[in-house]
C-alpha cells in the first residue's frame, strides 16, 4: 500500500543526499520514479552538499502536483514513487495534491524538507506535511551548534548579525537589506538561536523613539485605584430586606 512519507531535518543534515539515495536505490531495482524539487541550489536538479546531483522536475508555485504525476505516470506507463526535495517550499494545496497521489494513484511519495524557518516557526508546507503524512521521520544526523550542543534551529545572518525579519525565501539578498549585504546561514542550538533572536528584537525596538511611544496601549496600573462608592453596583442578593424571606 502506497504511503506519504515526510522526512525533515536542519540544514546540512543530509535531506537532499537521502532523497538522491532513495531515487538511486529504487531505480537500481528497476522501479520507475520521478524526482522533484523547488528552489534548489541548481535549477532543474536535486543537488547535495556532498557533490552528487540528479536531474529533477522543477515545481513552481502554480504546479498541480497531482496532475503532473498523473501525466508522467501515463507517459511512462507505470510509476512507483515520487521523491520531493525542498518540500518546505510547497504550499498547502500542493501537499494535499501529493496525498491524492498516494491515495488515488497508489504511488509512494517521499518528501524531504526543513521543518522551521530562520524565524523559528514552521514552514507552511512542512506543517501541512506533518498533518498529512503517514510517516514522519526526523533525520538523525547530529548537526552541532558552535557551542557543541545539538543544533535544532536554522539561523540567518546579515553581515554576520542574526536577523529574524525579512522574506522567508531570499535570492541574492534579504529584501530589506542592500544588495551588497552578505547573507549566510548557520545552525544553532535552541538556547543560542533564542539569544540571537532576543538581541535582534532589541535592535528593532531601539529604532522606536520616545515620541512614537503609545502609552495608551499599556495604561499605568501601578498606583492606588480610586473607587467611587456610588458607582459600585449593589449585588442582587443584597436587595432583599429582612422581611423578604418568604
- The CATH number covering residue 199 comes to 3.30.60.20
149 lies in which domain range?
A: 142-207
Distance set, CA 33 to CA 30, 57, 101, 124 (Å): 10, 11, 13, 26
pLDDT at 235 > cutoff 60: no
* Number of compact structural domains in the chain: 2
- Stretch 129-140: mean pLDDT, rounded? 94
pLDDT at 233 > cutoff 70: no
Helix (H, G, I), strand (E, B) or coil at 124: helix
Q: For residues 135 and 7, what is the distance between their CA atoms, to the nearest angstrom?
A: 8
27 phi/psi in degrees, rounded to 5: -70, -35
CATH number for the domain harbouring residue 26: 3.40.50.300
> Residue 208 has what pLDDT?
46
Whether 24 is in a domain gets the answer: yes
In tens, the pLDDT along 54-107 reads 777 888 889 999 999 999 999 999 999 999 999 999 999 999 999 999 999 999
> Residue 39 has what pLDDT?
63
Of 103, 122, 141, the domain-final residue: 141
> Residue 119 has what pLDDT?
92
> Residue 204 has what pLDDT?
53
Are 103 and 133 part of one and the same domain?
A: yes
Q: Catalytic one among 43, 57, 60, 86?
A: 86
pLDDT at 229 > cutoff 70: no
pTM above 0.75, yes or no: no
Helices 92-105 and 65-76 sit at what angle, rounded to 10 degrees? 40
Are 20 and 131 part of one and the same domain?
A: yes
Whether 20 is in a domain gets the answer: yes
Are 132 and 147 part of one and the same domain?
A: no
Strand ranges, E, within the chain: 4-8, 33-37, 45-47, 53-55, 57-58, 81-84, 108-113, 135-138, 153-158, 161-163, 183-188
In tens, the pLDDT along 16-29 reads 888 889 988 999 99
Q: Does 86 participate in catalysis according to the annotation?
A: yes
Are 157 and 202 part of one and the same domain?
A: yes
> Residue 140 has what pLDDT?
77
Q: For residues 102 and 187, what is the distance between their CA atoms, to the nearest angstrom?
A: 33
Are 31 and 111 part of one and the same domain?
A: yes
Are 124 and 57 part of one and the same domain?
A: yes
Amino acid at each position: 500500500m502506497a504511503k506519504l512519507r515526510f522526512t525533515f531535518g536542519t540544514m546540512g543534515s543530509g535531506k537532499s543526499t537521502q532523497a538522491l539515495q532513495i531515487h538511486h536505490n529504487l531505480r537500481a531495482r528497476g522501479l520507475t520514479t520521478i524526482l522533484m524539487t523547488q528552489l534548489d541550489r541548481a535549477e532543474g536538479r536535486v543537488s547535495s552538499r556532498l557533490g552528487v546531483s540528479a536531474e529533477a522536475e522543477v515545481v513552481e508555485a502554480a504546479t498541480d502536483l497531482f496532475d503532473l504525476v498523473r501525466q508522467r505516470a501515463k507517459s511512462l506507463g507505470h510509476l512507483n514513487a515520487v521523491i520531493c526535495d525542498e518540500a518546505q517550499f510547497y504550499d498547502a494545496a500542493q501537499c494535499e495534491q501529493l496525498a491524492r497521489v498516494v491515495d488515488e494513484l497508489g504511488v509512494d511519495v517521499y518528501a524531504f524538507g526543513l521543518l522551521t524557518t530562520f524565524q523559528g516557526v514552521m514552514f507552511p508546507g512542512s506543517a501541512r506535511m506533518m498533518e498529512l503524512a503517514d510517516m514522519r521521520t526526523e533525520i538523525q544526523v547530529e548537526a552541532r551548534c558552535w557551542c557543541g550542543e545539538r543544533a535544532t534551529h536554522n539561523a540567518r545572518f546579515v553581515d554576520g548579525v542574526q536577523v529574524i525579519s525579512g522574506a522567508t525565501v531570499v535570492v541574492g539578498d534579504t529584501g530589506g537589506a542592500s544588495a551588497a549585504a552578505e547573507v549566510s546561514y548557520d545552525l544553532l542550538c535552541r538556547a543560542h538561536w533564542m539569544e540571537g533572536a532576543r538581541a535582534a528584537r532589541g535592535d528593532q525596538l531601539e529604532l522606536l523613539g520616545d515620541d512614537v511611544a503609545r502609552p495608551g496601549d499599556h495604561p499605568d496600573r501601578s498606583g492606588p485605584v480610586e473607587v467611587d462608592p456610588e458607582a459600585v453596583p449593589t449585588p442582587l442578593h443584597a436587595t432583599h430586606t429582612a422581611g423578604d424571606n418568604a
